[in-house]
Amino acid sequence: MPQVKIIAKNFMDMVSSLPAIKLDMLYRNQFICEAILRSLPPLAKKYVLQMLYIDAPVTSKSLQEWVLADGSSKHKVAIDRLIQLRVFEVIDRKKETAYKLNPTFQTSLRKHLIYGGTLPREPMPPNVIARLPTSEELDAYALEQWECFLLQLISSGQAERSSSFSSSMMRIFQRGLLRQRDKEAARLTESGFQFLLMDTNAQLWYIIREYITNSEEQGVDQADLIAFLLELSFHTTGEAYNLDTLTDDQAVMIKDLADLGLVKLQKGRKDSWFIPTKLATNLSVSLADTTSRKQGFVVVETNFRMYSYSSSKLHTEILRLFSRVEYQLPNLIVGAMTKESLYNAFENGITAEQIVTFLQQNAHPRVAEKVPSVPENVTDQIRLWESDLKRVEMTPSHFYDEFPSRDVFEAASDFARMHSGLLWEDAKKMRMVVKAEIHMLMREHLRGQK
């Protein structure tokens, strides 16, 4: 089951895992090179741009001279990232290591900076297409689609258009976010609960990662999907692009992306087209900055009451994950965090830190600029209640006594200790407790002692 650590991973980890041949094919695309450059840490960007017109290898000593002495840790992070993405090629010399830019990446980025890039498709002329949605309509559509998608994850009964989701999208839910046993209704997993509290950009890239992995298992080339996604981020929001310019795999993918709200599909008398929303055109920006500030909606008071200024059904369902919703008005949700509601959240796998982070990131503009934006007594108490549940840890175990002799007891004790399974022993009364996972091994060992 994918853990939440995977959710937080950068999408570029998937790019770096591609074989060298496929990665070089990606780097022939100028827009992908720009997307990679955007995703890099600031110091790594500096190295790439400074070495863009240096064809000779640069020694590691020379590279270190480009940063101040207190920047050594950031320098290491930058170098590791560049090597991981194969933007840097490592040249081992007898005296010291040197680095040079990947020639394919270097050539493509040079061309892009000098001449600009040309996308594989141009916007359709206005006289061919019907009325396009306004910027406001497109934003509303993207938000509605994304919220519908997340509501489907919380409960299939919550999404009004749940039947519109493709089988490939539904399979993503089952890759760790949902579980279903026999004839029971599908339920959120621990990762699923945690996923819902994440930033939208992190959620989006997790879904994209899982979508690409799922498509690869269906025989679709992973590098082609990554290339199309990163290219899509350089299209113009609100412009119409002909669907006939897409390959078969891209045509399937564009329909799935419409489920997520990344594009809107429209049809005319003769032609069909897709219109990128901000979710799509911000993809490459999201790679570099997943902490962009969005309009918050939650006010938390010192008495643990919450006022959520929102009419979104999704916001209501998310708040129910860790609080008790008391009543709703057309644009206001009033609730309270109680010990019981938070204990329920902790048991579902949501951590105190994730709840605190969610409240801080979604703080209403009137309190967002305050320090702290969420009262300290509230955040401290949330963490304390979580620590209460961790005071006692349950470990399945087995109790052993009535050993035939001290030699057998000591041999059994040594055996359990060797396998890291000894939890407690009383040498005087020849009793011990061992972990359940080594119980069968202990039985075999004791049989051999007879």
Q: Domains of the chain: which residue ranges?
A: 4-115, 135-288, 298-389, 397-449
Average pLDDT over residues 360-374: 92
Average pLDDT over residues 163-175: 67
pLDDT at position 3 over 70: no
Say how far apart CA 20 and CA 180 lie, in whole Å: 39
The reported pLDDT for the residue numbered 139 is: 92
Q: Which fold has domain 397-449?
A: Alpha-Beta Plaits (3.30.70)
Burial environment of residue 306 by CB neighbours within 10 A (0 to 12, 13 to 18, 19 or more): buried
Mean pLDDT check: name the lowest of 6-20, 179-193, 257-271: 6-20
The reported pLDDT for the residue numbered 241 is: 94
Average pLDDT over residues 41-51: 94
230-262 confidence digits (pLDDT tens):
888 889 999 999 999 999 889 989 998 998 899
The reported pLDDT for the residue numbered 142 is: 92
Instruction: Determine if the pTM surpasses 0.75.
Output: no
Specify the CATH architecture of the domain 4-115. Orthogonal Bundle (1.10)
- pLDDT above 90 covers a percentage of the chain that reads 44
The reported pLDDT for the residue numbered 59 is: 92
258-291 confidence digits (pLDDT tens):
988 999 999 888 889 999 999 888 777 655 554 4
Average pLDDT over residues 310-314: 90
The reported pLDDT for the residue numbered 158 is: 40
Q: What is the mean pLDDT of the chain?
A: 85
